[in-house]
Chain A
Amino acid sequence: MTPPLLEVRDLHKKFGAVTAASNINVSFAAGETVGIIGANGAGKTTFVNMITGYLPPSYGTILYRGADITRRPPRDIARLGICRSFQVSQVFTSLSVIENLLTAVAIASSPGLAMLRPLRRPELLERAEVILERYRIAQHRDQLASDLSQGARKLLDIAMAVVSAPRVLLLDEPTSGISSEEKTALMDVVMEALKQDQMTILFIEHDMEIVERYVDRVLAFYQGEIICDAPPAEALRDAKVLEYVIGTEVQPEARGHA
């Protein structure tokens, strides 16, 4: 049996008296697309932050390709092949779109002393232009990142996260702040671009239509715990998910079957 690409064992996170994540045991195979759902404060972002090294877990273990990466700094985890985008886009606002991508490409392809090589190298520029096209932001090429619309900035944030061709990509609410009409269009661009790289994708999302449309599997969080781990068709009809995540009134008999 193939070992999981990413595995989380008994993960806990406490902020003082508040438990943000508790008893999380889950694994992800290569190529999976997983939707992470839950109400605000359910522990989704804490979970992503722990995997990507932004927050150290109180205890528990995170294994990536069999190696323990718990408490490794974000840059090490990114170098190993786990990258992320953010709920609030993290881009270089005083650089143009192409300069943002060029910086990302250059860091990804310049280990050690290669960082002293010029930034504007033809091969880096070529790679940055390809990503620019793939994420449909070529029309904003020379625009400052600070001047981009929310949607374009989200695309740039995600594009910067994938320049190093990671094996695992975590997207924290890729459609937040985007109008409902634009959400599907943005996700179509993102998922089509990501499909070409064959990576495992975990994304936090509040829009259940988006979840149903793009994912193979759903993880539902409630009060820091995973309350459901199933394919979308099953998860989005699960009584606990309906009650604690989606907020639908559940009949007692339905709850009994859950």
Chain B
Amino acid sequence: MLRDRTVQGLTVALVVLLVASFFVPSWIVNQMLFASARAIAVIGLMVLWRTRLVSFGHALYFGLGAYTVAMVSRYTPVTDAFLLLGAAAALATLLGFLIGFIIRRYRDIFFAMLNLAFSMILYGILVKTEALGSTDGFTIAAPTFFGMAFEDAQEGKVALLCVLLVVGWAVAVGVQMYLQSTLGRLTTAIRDNEIRVEYLGYSVERAIHIKYVLSALLAGIGGGFMALALGQVDPDSMVNWTASGELVFVTILSGPGSVAAPFIGSFVFEILRTYAFEWMPHAWQMIVGGTLLVIIFFMPGGMWALVTRLAGQRAAGGAPGMER
């Protein structure tokens, strides 16, 4: 059994990225913002995936988080990023908790599609409701940070990135600790044999419900950050099934090997999409789709498998934070 160095690795990465965020060009800051926001949501999907549960509808919570930030910012005097994100997290958690009572009874394609069904209900409400911005959505004013406002937009983005990196680090470390706990380690056990888990005296439905609420919370936080990073929300980029598909895409691209993987996978996804769009503006989806095929056929462990291979570590059980 190798010593797990995930937390140390994440901490070093945090320090490096915090320092780098002050020096990198603005387009990289933007990419890091979008990638890190999406990565937080993907960590939640990764927890579900380890239990062999795939959700095609987590844009429900991602979009809910984004719209909560937007609505609170628009209709109340609250401008503080932490309060806005707190509201996004709370609402996504509450909805995940309630829907979880239904979802936890389903597996496989039913689990995936039920999530999609719920997300499309929210999408339908958003596009048909004028007060919620309808199909156009609406813009969000730049947030403050503990009362501190940045007049320079770029400075504001760097400040948001610093907050996002710290929150991303805390989420990754928290989820890593969860995955090492008895409850977290049940991901593999449930995936292997639900009957045995029940006969050992633990409710599989409860374990799945907890994982589901965790994933909803993380998607809500991710969506909240994405709304602040973009400065606007709209149903198509936040709640539509394509947004859920992007989250699943990044989950597969990242691989389930480590809580650090979603950050790498998400950044690669942002770069890939940007350059694919620049190169083939009308057919960029072909490049993204082709990449997914390559990943599935040749690298089922995702980017993390590549990272561990490059680092010269044994892929099976040896990588930091790796779980069978």
Which residues of chain A have a CB within 8 Å of any CB of chain B? 52, 73-75, 78-79, 83-84, 86, 90-95, 103-104, 106-108, 110, 114-120, 160-161, 163-164
Q: Which of A93, A104, A118 contacts B200 (CB 8 A)?
A: A104
B177 proximity list for chain A (CB < 8 A): 118
B185 proximity list for chain A (CB < 8 A): 103, 106, 119
CB-contacts of B142-184 with A (<8 A): 177-178, 180-184
Q: Which of B178, B184, B195, B198 has the most CB of A within 10 A?
A: B198
B282 at the interface (CB under 8 A from A): no
Q: How far is the CA of A78 from the CA of B204 in the complex (A)?
A: 14
B324 proximity list for chain A (CB < 8 A): 94-95
Q: Give the distance to chain A from B157, nearest Cβ to Cβ, in Å.
A: 36
Q: A91 and B182: CB pair below 8 A?
A: no
Q: How far is the CA of A8 from the CA of B197 in the complex (A)?
A: 26
A163 proximity list for chain B (CB < 8 A): 200
A78 proximity list for chain B (CB < 8 A): 198-201
Q: Give the distance to chain A from B119, nearest Cβ to Cβ, in Å.
A: 29
Q: Give the distance to chain A from B2, nearest Cβ to Cβ, in Å.
A: 12
B22 at the interface (CB under 8 A from A): no
Could you show 30 A-B contacts with beta carbons less than 8 Å apart?
A52-B199, A74-B199, A75-B199, A75-B201, A75-B203, A78-B200, A83-B199, A90-B196, A90-B199, A91-B192, A91-B196, A92-B196, A94-B188, A94-B192, A94-B324, A95-B189, A95-B192, A103-B182, A103-B200, A106-B182, A107-B186, A107-B200, A107-B201, A115-B181, A115-B182, A115-B183, A118-B181, A119-B181, A120-B180, A160-B200
A161 proximity list for chain B (CB < 8 A): 199
The 10 closest A-B pairs by CB, nearest first: A115-B183, A78-B201, A92-B192, A106-B182, A90-B196, A79-B201, A107-B200, A119-B185, A74-B198, A116-B181
Q: B196 and A164: CB pair below 8 A?
A: no
Q: B201 and A117: CB pair below 8 A?
A: no
A103 proximity list for chain B (CB < 8 A): 182, 185-186, 189, 200
Q: How far is the CA of A178 from the CA of B324 in the complex (A)?
A: 29
Q: Give the distance to chain B from A74, nearest Cβ to Cβ, in Å.
A: 5
Q: How far is the CA of A56 from the CA of B324 in the complex (A)?
A: 35
How many residues of chain B have a CB within 8 Å of chain A? 24
A90 proximity list for chain B (CB < 8 A): 193, 195-196, 199
User: Do A164 and B180 contact each other (CB < 8 Å), given the known contacts A91-B193, A94-B188, A103-B185?
Assistant: no
Q: B181 and A117: CB pair below 8 A?
A: yes
B203 proximity list for chain A (CB < 8 A): 73, 75
Q: Which of B185, B188, B191 has the most CB of A within 10 A?
A: B185
A115 proximity list for chain B (CB < 8 A): 181-183, 202
B198 proximity list for chain A (CB < 8 A): 73-75, 78
Q: How far is the CA of A114 from the CA of B182 in the complex (A)?
A: 8
CB-contacts of B302-319 with A (<8 A): none
Q: Which of B186, B192, B197, B199 contacts A93 (CB 8 A)?
A: B192
User: Do A92 and B189 contact each other (CB < 8 Å), given the known contacts A107-B197, A160-B200?
Assistant: yes
B197 proximity list for chain A (CB < 8 A): 107
User: Do A110 and B182 contact each other (CB < 8 Å), given the known contacts A52-B199, A90-B195, A93-B193?
Assistant: yes
A116 proximity list for chain B (CB < 8 A): 178, 181-183
**Beta-carbon nearest neighbor of B178 in chain A:** A116
Other A-B pairs beyond A52-B199, A164-B201, 4, CB < 8 Å: A90-B196, A94-B191, A95-B189, A119-B182
Q: How far is the CA of A74 from the CA of B195 in the complex (A)?
A: 9
A104 proximity list for chain B (CB < 8 A): 200
Q: How far is the CA of A163 from the CA of B184 in the complex (A)?
A: 20
Q: Give the distance to chain A from B142, nearest Cβ to Cβ, in Å.
A: 38
User: Do A164 and B199 contact each other (CB < 8 Å), given the known contacts A116-B178, A117-B182?
Assistant: no
A84 proximity list for chain B (CB < 8 A): 199
Q: Which of A79, A103, A104, A118 has the most CB of B within 10 A?
A: A103
B201 proximity list for chain A (CB < 8 A): 75, 78-79, 107-108, 164
Q: B202 and A75: CB pair below 8 A?
A: yes
Q: How far is the CA of A94 from the CA of B209 in the complex (A)?
A: 23
A79 proximity list for chain B (CB < 8 A): 201
Q: Give the distance to chain B from A168, nearest Cβ to Cβ, in Å.
A: 13
A114 proximity list for chain B (CB < 8 A): 182
B195 proximity list for chain A (CB < 8 A): 86, 90
A52 proximity list for chain B (CB < 8 A): 199
**Beta-carbon nearest neighbor of B1 in chain A:** A120
Q: How far is the CA of A74 from the CA of B203 in the complex (A)?
A: 9
**Beta-carbon nearest neighbor of B207 in chain A:** A115
**Beta-carbon nearest neighbor of A145 in chain B:** B192
Q: Give the distance to chain B from A247, nearest Cβ to Cβ, in Å.
A: 32
**Beta-carbon nearest neighbor of B203 in chain A:** A75
CB-contacts of B274-301 with A (<8 A): none
Q: How far is the CA of A207 from the CA of B178 in the complex (A)?
A: 46
Q: How far is the CA of A44 from the CA of B319 in the complex (A)?
A: 47
A75 proximity list for chain B (CB < 8 A): 198-203
A160 proximity list for chain B (CB < 8 A): 196, 200
Q: How far is the CA of A90 from the CA of B192 in the complex (A)?
A: 9
Q: Give the distance to chain B from A14, nearest Cβ to Cβ, in Å.
A: 23
